[in-house]
Structures are given as structure tokens and as C-alpha cells.
Structure 1
Amino acid sequence: MTVFVDIGALADIPAQGARLVKTAQGCIAVFRTADDRVFALDDRCPHKGGPLSEGIVHGTSVTCPLHNWVFDMNTGAAQGADDGAVRTYDIRVQQGRILIDASLIRANRAA
């Protein structure tokens, strides 16, 4: 069973905007669409390492701010002729709060 942890309010992310969440797995971009759907992807574009959290959100896609690669936020796959993908993460909204898979917050190594 996946355990989720609260990372903030939906209202903290503007519609068609993003926020960066630092986790034990690395930086994750959390996106909010115009219709309040929420997605979580690796923040680093596989092409040149552009910060996807600074990209343009349109529908359920995000465009990298460096070289315009477009990623489907449902799957993480690059769209069009571009070859590549970013990892997606389990995320949900409950009672106006954004919840992400708690395993992302835990460190990869023993203390």
C-alpha cells in the first residue's frame, strides 16, 4: 500500500504553474493544470537538463524552457519527434491538499 505525505495546498500553485519539491530522490516538479489536475515529474529535462518546473504548462503537457521539448505529464514521454522521457510520480489532491508518495521523501541509505 502506498503511503502519501502532504506537501502543500493546491492553492499554493497557480493554475498552469509549478512548484519545485526537493526529495531524497532528487528535485520533482509539481504541476497544476488550468482545470486543477496535479502531476509530478522529474524536474530535469533529459535533453539538456532544463528545469521543467520553469516550463510552460498547456493542457496536460509541459514545454521545457530551454529547447522547447514537450512532455506529456500523464506518461512523462516526450511528444513529437523528440526521443526521451522523464519519470512521473504518484500524486493526488485530497481536500485541497497535495499528497505525494511518501517513499520519495525517505533517504536511499540507512542512517
Structure 2
Amino acid sequence: MREVTIGKVTEIPERTGRVVHIGNLELAVFRLSGGEIRAVENRCPHRGGPLAEGMISGGYVYCPLHEWKIRLKDGKVQDPDSGCVQTYPVIVEGDEVKIGLRENEEFRQREEETGLV
């Protein structure tokens, strides 16, 4: 796994999403009220809503388009809806925040979206 530094803990506002680009990946990064940081793809599985613009409640984000509730720990959409979003490991070392990526992951997602895989 490759770790990519995305900034400092203090640069991620509490209970608000922040968009982070790593190669072709667009992630939504959140700092929860307890200080935990989570990262998911910035795209709701329903209609592609930008999750970074969603409302945070506890360990969940609500899609800003249709209020689908998504658990940030594992990316699962909550009942009665279904689906999931990709989650990414977050590593905090001191004040630095890093995202863990599998090899070439930021390029593979774009290939999958365009049908090149």
C-alpha cells in the first residue's frame, strides 16, 4: 500500500467534508466530532451526488441530493436504500494525514469509469 499525504489534521474542518484529489481519484475526507478522520469516494452510488457537500451526523454522511445515509466506516448505504461507496484507509502520523492507496489505484478508477478495464 502506498501512502499519500493530503495535509494536516487542522486543515480538515470538523464535521464538514473536504474534497481531495489524488491522481484521477476524487475523495471526500471528513473529520468527525470525536476527531476520527474518514475518507470515501466523493460520489453517492445513487445519482453521483458529491458526498463532501453532505451533512455529517455521527459516523454517517447524508448525500446532498437525495439524503441517502452512508456509513463512513465501511461505505455502506443504510436501509431502506442499498449500495456502497469505496472507503480508503486514513493514517494520522503526528499532525499529518495520509490516505492509503493500493498500487495504481488512482488511475484504475478512471479506467473502470470509462470502460477501459
Same fold (TM over 0.5): yes
The amino acid across from 2:16 in the alignment is G
Residues 47 and 100 (structure 1), Cα distance of their counterparts in 2 relative to 1, 3 Å cut: same
Q: Deviations over 1:77-102 (max 9, x none)?
A: 00120011100011121112111125
Aligned-pair identity in percent equals: 35
Q: TM-score, normalised by structure 1?
A: 0.87
Structure 2 gap ranges (5+): 112-117
Alignment of 1:1-111 (within 5 A): 2-102=1-101, 103=103, 107-108=107-108
Residues 38 and 104 (structure 1), Cα distance of their counterparts in 2 relative to 1, 3 Å cut: farther
- 8 Å CA contact 1:18–1:53 kept in 2: the answer is yes
- How many residue pairs get matched? 108
User: Which structure has more helix as a fraction of its residues?
Assistant: 2
Segment of structure 1 superposing worse, 2-11 or 69-78 = 2-11
- Tell me how large the CA RMSD over aligned residues is: 1.8
